[in-house]
Every structure is written in C-alpha cells, then in structure tokens.
C-alpha cells in the first residue's frame, strides 16, 4: 500500500513530472523500422506529447510535434520534402529539429519563420526498431543491448497499445509467482473451456523460493520451482528487468525483450522483441525479414483474448484500472520484488534531481559495443520451453511463425 501522492509521483509521466523527467533520460522505442518503409509518417504519443515520426525524401528520420504552429493541423498528414515535413494546410516546412524553414505565403523579407519552432527530437534506428530521445543534451548513447545486435537470429516484433499505466505493467515483471497462476492454473482453466488437454502444460509448478538482486542494469529475478534445487539456472542465472522499462526473458531457442513505453499516464506502447536462436550449426538466411504483428488485447466481441500468455498478462494489467490504485492494494511477502523496484525508481529519480545520470544511461563507447545481459536458457528445467510453445505466446501472431520454427530447426535454410 502506498499513499495517493506517492502513487501519483510513480505513475505520472507527462512533461515536468519527476517520473517523466526520469524517462526522458532514456532512448525509447517508438516504431518498427519497417513501419516507415511503406508510409512517410506515423503518429506517435510519447510521455504525454503528440508527435509525428517521419522520413524525408533523403530517407532521414525525424520526430517533431504533431501540430503545425500556424493553425494546429496534424503534421501526420504532412508532405515529406527533401529536408523535412511540410504542413498540408498552408505549406509551412519544418526540419527534424522542429525549426520552421519556410512559410510560402509570407513576404519574402519576413523573418517570422525564424521565430517559429515546434518540438523536435533525436531518433536512431537499431535492430529493426526506431528509438527517440526526449531528454536534455548531450544525449547519451543508444544502448546496444545484446538482442538488438546479435547475429544469426530470426527477429520478430510484436506490439500493442495497452490502455493502462506503464507501472502496473512493469510491476508484473517483478512478480514471479503470477507465473504458476495466471500462466499455469488459469491457462489450464482456459484449456478446459476450449477442450484442450490440460495435463501436459509445463508451467503450473509451485514456487519454492523467489529472489531479487540489483545489478548494473536493473534487477535480476530468480526462482526455484517445486522439484528444482538452487543449482538450477532459474536461480543461479535468473533473468533481468532492465531499468527502467524492459524485461528480458527466454530460453535456449528464443530470447526476448518486453519493452513498456509510456505514451501517457493511461496508455502504454508495448513491444515484444524476440530473437529466435537457430539450432547449432544452422545459418539463418541473410536479410531474413523482421516480422511485425499486433498482439490483440480483445476479440471482435470485446472479450479479452486469454488463450495465449501475453493476452493473459494484458488482461491482468488492464483490469487493474487505467492507473492501479495502490492506496487500496494489499501486498504480501511475495510482492517484495515490486517494492524493490519502486525503491529503485525513486532512487534513480533522486539521481536525476541531483544532475547525475540514472542507471542504464550509457555514455562510454567502449562499454556499448555489446551489452550482454544474463538470462537462464534451461527454463524451468525444460530447456526450450518458450520456443517450444511459440504458438502459446505473442509470436503466434507472426504470419511466418511456422517458417521461423523450420528455419531454426535447420529444415529450410536451403529453400528460403
């Protein structure tokens, strides 16, 4: 249980809020690179700001405020030009810094354009994602976390706009025991309703022990399930919550990031970024495309889609309310990871207030060649558990999931 004021401080991310200031110290993913292949603009809502991501005629990406300073028309409807984006209404042209370069109907001698500026932010592309930085200069390096730069893997990118606050989504990742219920017993209940055998489902074992350690890049989560001992990988290695908004999870065959990007206080852009790892000796076809797909929250009748792992997670996040009311929550000992995460958020927020860089702001090039994160591979002692059930989690919505599985098993390397 928290006070109302503390809950507000932890959840609000708009301009000028403490948590918004913390998030503005990080590069945040806002789109898949492939989204700007077939279209010139994408409307983006990020940390309470309405923005437009665009590609100019030179192929350069830009991220500027969505409203033209002139009469407020959406720049998402704008015309891409050689050096910026032009408002469709009266032709005002802006560059990637948000500076107004042209006002075609003003006198040639006018200096009015020099006084007009809309927000403009830095963008960079890495690993098939486009990242934005909204914070103070100098911008830090875009962290090269291992999955973004790993070679010889097949990547997929899933996404969803989730109508709730980012914090309740992140807190799910500090709550290991929900695994045995939400993705175990509840999943078996869904199987029961769908007429699918329940007995073979491998993730409903009881947690014997959970643990959390703060490390250089966030918090490592550990667990020991019934039948395991403390020398299992789930305990010895574990997997991290990368500060402030990313979960790393996986097994032998699939390594994944779940990235939670606050759009505003009540909406979160969620990315499931997965690298499928081929079997030993198998070479993934060069330039194999990165699939992009939406993971549905609800079906056409408005019911939550709960017959896959991530749909179950989303149901749990959204039904807590737009912003979870932590003044009425009743935490127990199994929630200590959540409390540790809240403390880490406030601790790093204090660093920002003191003018220091918070955790995971990288400025050392030498450190940023590849940032290798720890992650158990022999998941729950089953080995390829997650990749083995690729059709029971979000990747089932990748149109080429069957092909990906075949490629990774080495059965399609000659034909693709």
Partner 1 sequence: MLQEEAKAALEFVCYCARCGASLADPRNLVNLYSDTGRSICFWWCHACGAKGEAVEVDRVTAPHMAEE
Residues that bind partner 1 (CB under 8 A): 1-3, 5-6, 8-9, 18, 327-328, 330-333, 335-336, 339, 342-343, 346-347, 349-350, 353
Nearest to 310 by CA among 259, 272, 262, 253: 272
303 Cβ contact partners less than 8 Å away, ≥ 6 residues apart: none
Total length of the chain = 416
Choose between 350 and 399: whose C-beta lies nearer to partner 1.
Answer: 350
Q: Please, what is the minimum distance in Å from the beta carbon of residue 334 to partner 1?
A: 9
Choose between 207 and 298: whose C-beta lies nearer to partner 1.
Answer: 207
Sheet holding 79-81, edge to edge: 79-81, 84-86, 93-94, 100-102
Choose between 198 and 327: whose C-beta lies nearer to partner 1.
Answer: 327
Q: Please, what is the minimum distance in Å from the beta carbon of residue 338 to partner 1?
A: 9
Phi-psi region of 380 (alpha: psi -120 to 50; beta: other; left: phi over 0): left
Choose between 9 and 190: whose C-beta lies nearer to partner 1.
Answer: 9
Nearest to 244 by CA among 351, 383, 84, 387: 351
On whether the CB atoms of residues 195 and 307 are closer than 8 A, the answer is no
On whether the CB atoms of residues 84 and 100 are closer than 8 A, the answer is no
Reply yes or no: is the peptide bond before residue 244 cis, omega within 30 of 0: yes
Q: Please, what is the minimum distance in Å from the beta carbon of residue 351 to partner 1?
A: 10
Tokens of residue 143, six digits: 């962290």
On whether the CB atoms of residues 219 and 341 are closer than 8 A, the answer is yes
Cα–Cα distance for residue pair 113/104, rounded to 1 Å: 10
Choose between 329 and 392: whose C-beta lies nearer to partner 1.
Answer: 329
Choose between 115 and 330: whose C-beta lies nearer to partner 1.
Answer: 330
Choose between 110 and 343: whose C-beta lies nearer to partner 1.
Answer: 343
Cα–Cα distance for residue pair 244/238, rounded to 1 Å: 18
Choose between 345 and 361: whose C-beta lies nearer to partner 1.
Answer: 345
Choose between 282 and 340: whose C-beta lies nearer to partner 1.
Answer: 340
330 Cβ contact partners less than 8 Å away, ≥ 6 residues apart: 1
Choose between 224 and 344: whose C-beta lies nearer to partner 1.
Answer: 344
Tokens of residue 240, six digits: 């991290």
Q: Please, what is the minimum distance in Å from the beta carbon of residue 123 to partner 1?
A: 31
Cα–Cα distance for residue pair 253/274, rounded to 1 Å: 10
Alpha carbons within 13 A on the beta-carbon side of 271: 25
Q: Please, what is the minimum distance in Å from the beta carbon of residue 350 to partner 1?
A: 5
Choose between 4 and 196: whose C-beta lies nearer to partner 1.
Answer: 4
Q: Please, what is the minimum distance in Å from the beta carbon of residue 320 to partner 1?
A: 17
Q: Please, what is the minimum distance in Å from the beta carbon of residue 3 to partner 1?
A: 7
Place of tokens 């990406």: 61
Q: Please, what is the minimum distance in Å from the beta carbon of residue 230 to partner 1?
A: 22
Q: Please, what is the minimum distance in Å from the beta carbon of residue 358 to partner 1?
A: 14
Tokens of residue 99, six digits: 């500076």
Q: Which residues, in sequence order, are bridge partners of residue 32?
A: 129
Alpha carbons within 13 A on the beta-carbon side of 289: 14
In the chain the first and final C-alpha atoms are separated, in Å, by 54
Neighbour tally for 405: CB within 10 Å: 19
Q: Please, what is the minimum distance in Å from the beta carbon of residue 18 to partner 1?
A: 7
Q: Please, what is the minimum distance in Å from the beta carbon of residue 348 to partner 1?
A: 12
Cα–Cα distance for residue pair 39/56, rounded to 1 Å: 11
């Amino acid at each position: 249980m928290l006070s109302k004021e503390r809950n507000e401080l932890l959840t609000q991310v708009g301009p000028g809020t403490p948590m918004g200031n913390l998030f503005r110290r990080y590069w945040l993913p806002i789109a898949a690179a492939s989204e700007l292949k077939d279209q010139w603009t994408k409307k983006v809502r990020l940390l309470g700001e309405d923005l437009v991501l665009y590609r100019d005629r030179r192929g350069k990406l830009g991220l500027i405020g969505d409203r033209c300073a002139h009469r407020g028309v959406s720049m998402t409807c704008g015309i891409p030009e050689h050096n910026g984006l032009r408002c469709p209404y009266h032709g005002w042209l802006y560059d990637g810094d948000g500076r107004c370069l042209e006002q075609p109907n003003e006198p040639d001698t006018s200096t009015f354009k020099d006084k007009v500026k809309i927000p403009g932010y830095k963008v960079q592309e890495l690993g098939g994602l486009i990242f934005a930085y909204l914070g103070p200069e100098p911008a830090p390096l875009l962290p090269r976390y291992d999955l973004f730069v790993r070679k010889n893997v097949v990547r997929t990118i899933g996404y969803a706009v989730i109508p709730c606050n980012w914090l309740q989504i992140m807190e799910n990742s500090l709550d290991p025991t929900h695994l045995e219920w939400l993705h175990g017993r509840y999943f078996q209940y869904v199987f029961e309703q769908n007429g699918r055998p329940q007995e073979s489902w491998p993730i409903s074992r009881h947690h014997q022990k959970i643990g959390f350690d703060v490390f250089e890049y966030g918090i490592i989560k550990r667990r020991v399930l019934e039948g395991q001992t403390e020398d299992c990988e789930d305990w010895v290695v574990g997997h991290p919550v990368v500060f402030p908004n990313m979960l790393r999870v996986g097994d032998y065959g699939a390594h994944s990031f779940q990235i939670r990007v606050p759009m505003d206080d009540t909406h979160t852009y969620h990315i499931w970024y997965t690298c499928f790892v081929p079997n030993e000796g198998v070479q993934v076809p060069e330039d194999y495309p990165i699939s992009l797909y939406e993971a549905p929250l609800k079906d056409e009748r408005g019911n939550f889609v709960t017959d896959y792992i991530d749909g179950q997670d989303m149901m749990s996040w959204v039904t807590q309310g737009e912003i979870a009311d932590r003044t009425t929550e009743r935490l127990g000992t199994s929630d200590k990871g959540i409390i540790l995460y809240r403390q880490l958020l406030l601790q790093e927020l204090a660093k920002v207030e003191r003018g220091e860089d918070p955790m995971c702001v990288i400025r050392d090039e030498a450190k940023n060649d590849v940032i290798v994160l720890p992650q158990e591979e022999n998941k729950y002692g089953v080995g390829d558990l997650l990749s083995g059930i690729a059709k029971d989690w979000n990747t089932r919505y990748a149109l080429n999931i069957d092909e990906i599985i075949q490629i990774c098993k080495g059965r399609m390397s000659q034909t693709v």
